[in-house]
Each structure stands twice: as structure tokens, then as C-alpha cells.
Structure 1
Amino acid sequence: MHAALVRELGWTPVGVDLSGGMLRHARGRLPVALADAVRLPVRDNSVPAVISVMVHTDMPAYPAVLREVARVLTPDGLFVHVGVHPCFCGGFAQSWTDKELRDEVGASHWPLPALLNAFGDAGLAVERFSEGGAPLPVVLAVAATTRPGTPRTPRR
């Protein structure tokens, strides 16, 4: 579904996941790579755009993912984050933490300030925000770019 839209924009999508099962599901619709999002198998400054759709609550190390995104993006590269709005998922993730189920299912809650500050800390300049859902904003979208001279974290 999202791969077709990315193709319409003139880009070639590549699905990246740690789960072979998820990649088997995506294979045939787009090229895939088995990889950890905190260590992408991509050269520094080599990708014009990265899109993250509904995954940040599955990634306890999302700030590290954002640093990796900044590393692989070309100067003026575009990063689009679309995810569950922090005001919607906070209680959900917190309620599971008390039962020690959060680690089992992977629900991570990023409060809005922590999530947005992680973009800047990674060297990404936030350009636009958007919310979706009615009557509650259940989705938060963020568009960010890299700029020449913006401090970014190179792979160590």
C-alpha cells in the first residue's frame, strides 16, 4: 500500500525489518533487506528519503534510529515519520508496563517532547507536522530534512 505511493513519487522503496516473516510478507511488492534500523546497511549520505510508518512504538531505541536516518540521508534529504500520536498511545503503553507485558509485545511510549526533541538531537530539522484522526488525533506525521552543515552522527 505505502510502496505504491512511494513509487508514484518517483522513488524506489526498500523495506527494512528485523523480522524475516515481515519481509516475506513484503517481498514481491518491493525489495527488502533484513537489518536493524539502528544499523542500516547503507553508506553515509547516500539515500534521498527515508519513511517510517507506524513503527516507532515498536522500537525502544527510536532516537538511535533517528540518528541512523540522519547518517544515511543525503544533504537536504527528507525523512517522513508517520506514527501513533503520543497523546493516544501513552496510556496504552503505560498500562502494559505495569504487567511486564510491554517488553513482550514491544509497545514503547515516546512522550511528545521526547519524540520531537529526538529529531533535533539526531541532526534532523523539523519542517512540518500533521495530525490525523477525528475526534482525537491518533496519528502524528513529521517531515524533517538534513541540511549541509547540520551536525549528524556518523556510524562508529
Structure 2
Amino acid sequence: MCPPIHGRPRPPSAVGFAGPCRGEPVLRIGGCEEGGGGSGDGSRAVRRSADQLRLARGRDGAPLLRGDATRLPFAAGTFATVTALWVSTDAGDFAGLVREAARVPRPGGMLLFYGVHPCFNGPHIEPRPDGATVIHPTYRIRGRHGRSPWWREGGLRDRAGMSHVPLPGLVNAFIDAGLNIDRVTEPREDPIPCALAVRAFRA
């Protein structure tokens, strides 16, 4: 089972879920070590932090930019595909991020989201040693969570906190951005899914 919160397992099926996009311009938002497919002219990768940029250099063939995903420095309709990997826990305005990510694909272009499953991977989740998961009633508290008593002391989330978007808010962000949701899946075969993927297209 994926370790909730404490780790970000590589999404082995992200590129397959996106479909073929070789030679097409792709914008990759977030996901410092994961590729999103596509290496054509005009491909770009945006990271929020300098540390993410440092980790990504040498792993990502696309030019890397540091920037705010809610204010992308690209014209509308620039990319064939946009991928947003592991961003919902770091974005203060997830709906704004999706709205901006929906602006830059071409008409008919794709937006692929791959990130934590908001029902089973968040500040309300307490992993148990026997593999069970306890879901606490803080699930409906959206926004920034500074810490939870069941987070590993000194771990990433204990030090940095995380943002939480309940499932309706996550799905509605795509609908409100005018995207057509084509497919939603819980990747991997874990009994309790830790990741959620959404594939949507610009009208």
C-alpha cells in the first residue's frame, strides 16, 4: 500500500493514462521527478520551489521554469497537453490552479491530474501498523493543515504541512474550469487507493 502523506510513489501509469503525446508541446506542472510524456518543441516544466527545480534538473528534458501555477506565463492554447502531478497538497488555491491549467491547452487539448486521493490520503488519515487506515472527522476541513498528531514526527508533512481539497471540491474544480472530464481512475492495485487521476479535455 502507498504510504499516506509521507511518500509520493512514482505514478507508473501516468504517461499511459495520458496517451501518446510524443513530439507535441507539453506543459508539466509540479511532480519534480515524474515525467508526463512529450518532448516536442515548446514543451515546458513549471515548478514552484527552487528545491524542486534542483531535483528536476538532469531528469527532465523540457526547459524548467520557476513560477506560480495560478499565473502561468503562457498564452492561451499554447500546449497540446498539460499535466499536473502531486499539486493538490501544495496549492493554496487548487481551483485557481485548475482554472489556469485549463486556459493553456489548445482547443481539444488534455489536462491530466495525478495526485493524492483526497478520501484516503490527507491530513485526516492515520495509517495503522497492520495496514488499516483510520479516517478522522477532519476530512471536511479544507485548506491548509499545519500538522496532525498522527503524522510522522520530523517527516515532510510534519515540517511543511499540506493543503487538503475534499473530493467534491477537487472534481468541481475541473467542471467549473469548463473542462470535459473524460476519465477518473484510482491507479495501482492497492486495497486502499492513495492516488487519484483525472483526465479532462478543453472544449
Bin the TM-score by the shorter chain: 0.7 to 0.9
State percent identity of aligned pairs: 38
Can you list the C-alpha shifts for 1:31-61, whole angstroms capped at 9, x where unaligned? 2001100011111111111111112111121
Give the structure-1-normalised TM-score.
0.80
Distance 1:127 1:141 in 2: 11
1:101 corresponds to which residue? 147
| 1:1-150 mapped onto 2 (5 Å cutoff) | 2-3=34-35, 6-7=37-38, 13-30=43-60, 31-90=63-122, 91-92=124-125, 94=138, 100-101=146-147, 105-132=160-187, 133-147=189-203
SS of 1:86's equivalent in the other structure is coil
- Of 97-106 and 117-126, deviating more is 97-106
Distance 2:70 2:147 in 1: 23
Higher helix share: 1
Superposed displacement of residue 11, structure 1: 7.9
Question: Contact 2:145 / 2:163 at 8 angstroms: preserved in 1?
Answer: no
Distance change >3 Å, CA 43–CA 12, structure 1 → 2:
closer
Superposed displacement of residue 86, structure 1: 1.0
Gaps of 5+ in 2: 1-32, 126-135, 149-156
CA RMSD of aligned residues (A): 2.9
Gaps of 5+ in 1: 148-156
Superposed displacement of residue 15, structure 1: 2.2
Give the structure-2-normalised TM-score.
0.62
SS of 1:29's equivalent in the other structure is coil
Distance change >3 Å, CA 23–CA 99, structure 1 → 2:
closer
Number of matched residues? 145
